[in-house]
Amino acid sequence: MPIGHGVLRGALISYIHTTRYLNAVIAGGARYDLNGQPCGEVTEEDKSVASELLKRRLAQIKQQNSQQQTTGDDGDDS
């Protein structure tokens, strides 16, 4: 069963925004193609962008946790 372009694009976008992926980019090293073969190195710009995205994510999480503690909202709507 072939995977559509939109499904693949969505999966890749979701993956590259994970904390695990961002931390791997920040650590640097080789990049790999879809066959698992080295195809370049993570650049300083890549590291900088990943670091900024991760900082924003952590700030959002901290803010959400702070708001939940202030309001007593545990996110459970039941």
Res 74 pLDDT > 70: no
Tell whether 76 is covered by a domain: no
Q: What is the mean pLDDT of residues 8-13?
A: 94
Question: Does 33 reside within a domain?
Answer: yes
CATH code at position 63 = 1.10.1710.10
Q: How many structural domains is the chain composed of? A: 1
Which of the two residues, 28 and 34, has the higher pLDDT score? 28
User: What's the chain's average pLDDT?
Assistant: 91
Residue range 6-27: mean pLDDT, rounded: 95
Mean pLDDT of 15-42: 96
The model's pTM: 0.73
Task: Tell me what percent of the residues of the chain surpass a pLDDT of 90.
Answer: 77
Q: Burial letters for 23-39: b for 16+ Cβ neighbours within 10 Å, e otherwise?
A: eebbeeeeeeeeeeeee
Q: Could you tell me if residue 11 is inside a domain?
A: no
Whether the pLDDT of residue 43 is over 70: the answer is: yes
User: Residue 23: which domain range?
Assistant: 17-70
